[in-house]
Amino acid sequence: MKSIHEDYGFMLHKITEKMGNKFIKALEPYKIKPNHFGILLLVNEYENIDQTKAGEILRTDRTSMVYIIDYLEELNYLKRVKNPKDRRYYGLHLTEKGKEVLDPCWNILKEIEKEVLGGSKEKEVLKRIYENLDK
Q: State the CATH number of the domain containing residue 23.
A: 1.10.10.10
Q: Is residue 79 part of a domain?
A: yes
Domain count across the chain: 1
**DSSP single-letter state for residue 50:** B
Q: Is residue 100 part of a domain?
A: yes
For residues 13-49, one letter each, b for 16 or more C-beta atoms within 10 angstroms of the residue's C-beta and e for the rest, the string is: eeeeeebeebbeebbeebebeeebbbbbbbbbeeeeb
Q: Is residue 131 part of a domain?
A: no
Q: Is residue 12 part of a domain?
A: yes
Contacts with 64 (C-beta within 8 Å, 6 or more apart), sequence order: 55
Q: Is residue 116 part of a domain?
A: no
Which range of residues forms the domain containing residue 91? 4-108
Q: Is residue 25 part of a domain?
A: yes
Q: Is residue 118 part of a domain?
A: no
Across all residues in the chain, what is the average pLDDT?
A: 88
Q: Is residue 27 part of a domain?
A: yes
Q: If you average pLDDT over residues 5-18, what whole number do you get? A: 81
Of the candidate ranges 5-9, 14-18, 41-45, 109-113, the one whose mean pLDDT is the lowest = 5-9
pLDDT for res 8: 77
Quote the pTM value: 0.81
pLDDT tens digit sequence for 61-102: 989 999 999 999 999 999 999 877 777 778 999 999 999 999
